[in-house]
Structure 1
Amino acid sequence: MANRNALAAPIMLGAMLMTFSGQAIGAEAARAPFGKISTGEAIEAITLKNKNGVSASIITYGATLQSLIAPGRDGKMADIALGFKDAAAYEKNASYFGASVGRYANRIGKGKFTIDGKSYQLALNDNGVAALHGGPKGFDKRVWKVLDVKSGPVASVTFGYTSPDGEEGYPGTLTVTATYSLDENNQLTIDYRAKTDKPTIVNLTNHALFNMAGEGSPEGAMGNVLTIPADYITPVDAELIPTGELRPVEGTPFDFRKPRVVGKDIRDASDPQIVVGRGYDHNFVLNGKSSGDEMHLAGRLEDPASGRVLEVLTNQPGVQFYAGNFIDGTMIGKSNHIYRQGDGIALEPQVFPDSPNKPNFPNARLNPGQEYHHKMAFRLTTSAR
């Protein structure tokens, strides 16, 4: 989801691999410079790689997934995540590609919410009508600290960020961690946790945009085949804010309960929700039940030609499906390709948009003494012909 306003090769991060002496290492972690932002602050990239050649690179700017290298059925590797080649490009392009977004991912209508009778006003950074992804300088534009890096059967990196009371209009000092872990089964897990010292709202997710044919591929991502196990969506108004209704997907272009080519009905103007979203930019109500750390399927994305498959798992109740409708050809990606409308697909697990203003939606409130926990994963496999 975004504000309206030839396959890539993996980036070589020439760093010495970190290992534990005397132990057999399954997956490895490496650190390397990734350029600087305008303040002069240095940005790092941490690359996790397993024995199968699958790798994920995450940068400290926005705790952002910069690259995800996945195999096809013939063993050919491709970077399936949209992104940029250095820190300066991420700072220049307000794209949210791969970023950890918060405090509140997605939209809050009129930028307003109330906690215990006190009203809060957030910046209207989505066309002047809504708050989007935590504000003009949300978590995606902050430099996170590297707290821990590990190699071993599972390679991981943990990032931390402390958001002070009142930052971007949100109450409470929020202490956040984001842990990326890659195992030998080709699963990249992201674990978001947060604690607060005042009642607040929290909704964290990762905003990766994928193309299973490879980022920058000439055909874009509209030929990807998508499955979402959801019987309902939360339809939106003209400002892309949910109305509060749960609408059945049966008989509509939003029925992805069986595999469906993303581009098949993306221009079907007979459906008003397609028109208002300029395609798909909607929250799907997942059929799987949220229960603590247990994850359920949020979506499955496949490129039939290469056989690359991505399954998105989560312990959250919804997933925002965004088909890159507002990517306008002004950004140049890491493989020197122009990114255009429909070049990437986001599946963002989360609580529902505008939940703080919809009593019938899942609760996004976090109180002192509680811990927010969002566990999500990107599982890579291949399909047969």
Structure 2
Amino acid sequence: MLARSFTSLAALALAGLSLAQSSDSSSSALSSSSATSATASQPASTDSSSATTTGSTAQETPGFVNNGTVGAYSCAFSEPQQANVTAPVNQLVFLADAPNVTATDGSDSSNISSPARLAPTTLAECAEAWPPVYPYNAIQLRAPDDSIRAVYLPYGASVSELWVKDRNGVFRDVVLGFDNKTNYGTDKIHPNFGPQVGRYANRIKNGTFEINGTTYHTPLNENNYDTLHGGTVGYDRSPYEITQLNASSVTFVLHDADGNQGFPGSVVASASYTLQNSSTLIQAMDANVTDDKYSPIMLSSHTYWNLAAYNESQTILNHTLFMPRADKYIKTDGHLIPTGPIPDTKGTPLDFTQARTIGSQYNDTEGVCGTNCTGYDTCFVMSSHDRNETVLELTSPESGIKMSVKTDQDAIQIYSCPGVSAPATKGSLPRKRVHGGDGTLDEIYDNNSCVVVEMEDYIDGINNPAWNRSQIYSKDRPYHWRAEYSFSTVE
């Protein structure tokens, strides 16, 4: 049970809920889709399509997908007139912001032990919006000093929401995602919203690689040309087990069988997220081969960022990007597959060793993100860096939020979202309501409105031996990945 983020049994009783489905109490509210959520680490059933929620019993609820709308049900949101507080329509109202809100049974809820819980409004009338069960159940965390809040899902060990304060002290959700948590597993576009990616992140040329004279084949799941992020069912599409959980930290573990997606060796992979004081997120990823085989492993976090949180505008092109150690980049073909050379960034539109906006040389990047594409989808290489130094800073001029990153990885993939919306070919993605969405596809995540930052090793290093990257692991050589994300503000 979360000591600070989980509601007490008394608080659950106020909402008219029971714990029939889980031995853990329901989590309290950062989620934009409901006021409570279960936290089962193992699925009672992987079928999330059959049950509904009725009365006061928390049964399996699939949420909703493709039934005429997308996103969260509007009744899951606290309206000003309902919560008796002043707040914008479709914004989350926390008990911390409204301590005198009256619960649905008429009692004063100001003494409830979870200040992050949504103000009780229409739960009894909005049973269809109760959260889905494993692996789409929301795990809410907060730092001990409440400087940073986050929501994670067992599906893909994904971050669904990440809340930090802007220059005015107001929380903003700075990551893209779905209001409806079940969409993470059912959306056909599948944008990799916030998961751990593996067993091998990024691309593998021709879906083939060789280990000790044996050639292995992995799915050609991108343009029928290469393997992207581990294959058709990579780590991003897998349900994880929760092995550790407290108020500010969670660890997810995945058992990846020998031969899955064509990869040799049985692997146990984990992803840990810890929220610390002073708006700091620590991420740790580990993997261990458990049999006598050898396997390529490269993990990463695939989060879409917009540090303005779609408040004043959507664009990411006015965000300032600074990568002082990114002095080289991996040259690729039109399919973003490495061709061998690792040239200098100096004198190119890929040079961010001096801070500048992402859009400052945007018109000079044609072909950088693929054939006939303008923007960035590039693996930047750091010839050297200290594991304790900041290697990336991303800043929004509108919110004043700055993200500073430290890592033990030697490369950074930057994707500026030039193709996140492509209605003619693959469709569009609805914005979360806190990002200005309205529950339909009228408000979408537009191109160039986000940026993905992947800390990792060299893309397709297993097929480029001249680079001398050591990306093959065994039971005698475990895999480790670390990154620290610190959030601050600038004027």
Q: Shared fold by TM > 0.5?
A: yes
Q: Which has the higher strand share?
A: 1
Consecutive unaligned residues of structure 1, counting only runs of 5 or more, are 1-8, 19-26
What CA distance in whole angstroms lies between the structure 2 residues aligned with 1:366 and 1:275? 30
Contact 2:368 2:377 in 1 (8 A): no
1:375 alignment counterpart: 482
Match of 1:333 among 427, 431, 438: 431
| Greater alpha carbon shift after TM alignment, 353-362 vs 50-59 | 50-59
Whether 1:73 aligns to 2:171 is: no
Distance 1:120 1:295 in 2: 37
Is the Cα–Cα contact under 8 Å of residues 216 and 343 in structure 1 kept in the other structure?
Answer: no
2:474 aligned partner, one-letter code: N
Match of 1:322 in 2: 415
1:357 aligns with 2:474: no
Shift of 1:42: 4.7
1:60 CA displacement: 0.7
SS at 2:184 equivalent: helix
Q: In 2, distance between residues paired with 1:371 and 1:88? A: 33
Aligned to 1:24: none
Which residue of the partner structure matches residue 90 of structure 1? Answer: 184
Aligned partner of 1:112 in structure 2 is 208
Normalising by structure 2, we get a TM-score of 0.68
Measure how far apart 1:179 and its partner are: 0.6
Q: Which residue of 2 aligns with 1:35?
A: 132
Alignment length, in residue pairs? 356
Structure 1 residue 242 and structure 2 residue 338: aligned? yes
Task: Tell me the secondary structure at the aligned position of residue 394 of structure 2.
Answer: strand
d(CA) in 1 for partners of 2:385, 2:354 = 19
Residues 334 and 367 of structure 2 are in contact (CA less than 8 Å); yes or no, is this contact kept in structure 1? no
Structure 1, residues 101-138: CA drift from partner, whole Å, max 9, x if none? 00011001111100011000111111011100001110
Q: Unaligned regions of 5+ residues in structure 2, if any?
A: 1-29, 40-113, 118-129, 423-427, 438-442
Deviations 1:10-46 (A, max 9, x none): 627634999xxxxxxxx9999xx7425xxxx552211
Distance 1:297-1:90 versus aligned 2 partners, 3 A rule: same
Is this contact kept in 2: 1:177–1:193, CA < 8 A? yes
Corresponding residue number in structure 1 for 2:356: 260
Aligned CA RMSD, in angstroms, stands at 2.5
Query: Alignment identity in percent?
Result: 29
The alpha carbon displacement at 1:297 in A equals 3.0
Residues 69 and 62 (structure 1 numbering): CA distance in 2 closer, same or farther, change over 3 Å? same
Q: Does 1:159 align with 2:266?
A: no
Kindly state the Cα deviation for residue 87 of structure 1 after the two structures are TM-superposed: 2.6
Q: What residue number does 1:3 align with?
A: none
Alpha-carbon separation, structure 1, partners of 2:211 and 2:311:
44
| d(CA) in 1 for partners of 2:221, 2:241 | 26
Spell out, residue by residue over 1:26-78, the C-alpha distance to the aligned partner (whole angstroms, 9 max, x if none): x9999xx7425xxxx55221111122442111111100011111111111221
SS state of the match for residue 265, structure 2? coil
Q: Distance in 2 between matches of 1:331 and 1:216?
A: 17
Say whether residues 1:142 and 2:238 are aligned partners: yes
Higher relative contact order (CA 8 A, sep 6+): 1
| Structure 2 letter corresponding to 1:175 | V
- Superposed CA deviations along residues 170-221 of structure 1, whole A, max 9, x for unmatched, are 0001001111000012111111011012200001110001011114763321
Name the structure 2 match of 1:231.
327
Amino acid of the residue matched to residue 60 of structure 1? P
- Displacement after TM superposition at 1:377 (Å): 2.0
> Cα–Cα, structure 1 residues 275 and 131, in superposed 2: closer, same or farther, change >3 Å?
closer
Partner amino acid, structure 1, of 2:417: G
The CA deviation at 1:305 is 2.3
Query: Structure 2 residue aligned with 1:303, among 396, 400, 404?
Result: 396
1:135-190 residue CA offsets vs partner (Å, 9 max, x unmatched): 11100011111111023xxx210101000000011000100111100001211111
- Matches of 2:246 and 2:306 in 1, distance apart? 28
- Which one has a bigger Cα radius of gyration? 2
CA offsets 1:272-327 (integer angstroms, 9 cap, x no match): 4356353100100124447xxx4443311001222100112210110101101221
